[in-house]
Amino acid sequence: MSEVSRPRLSATARRALTPWALLLTPVGLVIALFVAPLAILLMISLQVGPATETTYSISNYTDILGDETYRQVAWDTFMIASIAMAIQLAVALPFAYLIAFKAGRWELPLLLGIVLADQLNPMIRIYAWRMLLGREGVINSALTSLGVIDVPIDALLFSKFATITVLATSSVTYTIIPIYAAMKAIDANLLEAARDLGAGWATQFRRVLIPLSAPGIFASIVLVYIPLFTVFTVPELVGGPDSFMLGSATQSLILQTGDFQEGAALSFLMLLFCGLVAALSYRLAKIGQAAT
């Protein structure tokens, strides 16, 4: 009797353990590839002193938070990233609307076009902007030839304007596509009903399209806005002294100064801030959906 029941119990056990095995595999990968590196980063950020006399404290965090220079860099980073994201949203929202509701048979070619446009190497794009914005670049040369200016405009390159311009065009594809996907889920009859009730284009956009596109806007913020806080190549190659950002500060601490402890602390503070931005944008997206 026991010999007959033993295989049956084994099969039952396998059926019971299979869901756990399927669940623990991705959880294990997350722990190995995400949680463990974060734990190491946190441990390094709490270290103080040389390797032979290492102690643990929060002094790296207090030094950063109490430093006026870091506060100014954080403010400049917030302003540059926010303006660049606002420009991208100002471009992405009407463009996504055009593709989703007005493009017709051109919908797929337009989508493929914006995807292909993003395949250009980021460094090539940055140097292309340098050729456009430089003192002897295309824009200054054109304005001088037309008689609009007498001398080249130096502020076009190596300035906060150049940093914002390059960042605002660097990830517009990843801003458009999530918003487009959210707009495709909107019933076009809602817009027709709004028009029948006398709503103009601006009112439709503000009261119907933007609230219903909130999930796509949230996805764009996660994909585009948050990474803007960590960039350092763009400020270094096209920005000036007033374009020094938190990503540049972290890169300088780790790769140039060799201060891994303070660099890790700054990285962890940036991570916490980005998590706060993601949570806030998610909350606003939920409120926008509930308002409709």
Tell me the mean pLDDT per 10 residues along the chain, length 292: 50 68 78 86 89 84 93 95 95 92 89 86 89 90 89 89 93 92 88 84 85 89 91 91 91 90 93 88 72 58
- The per-residue pLDDT for 2 is 47
Which CATH class, in words, describes the domain spanning 69-291? mainly alpha
How many angstroms separate the CA atoms of 271 and 250, rounded? Answer: 12
Name the CA dihedral angle for 243, 247, 251, 257, rounded to a multiple of 10 degrees: 70
Compute the radius of gyration of the chain from its Cα atoms: 26
Report the DSSP pairing between strands 47-48 and 55-56: antiparallel
- The per-residue pLDDT for 288 is 60
- The per-residue pLDDT for 180 is 94
- The per-residue pLDDT for 28 is 81
What is the pTM for the complete model shown?
0.84
- The per-residue pLDDT for 23 is 76
- The per-residue pLDDT for 290 is 62
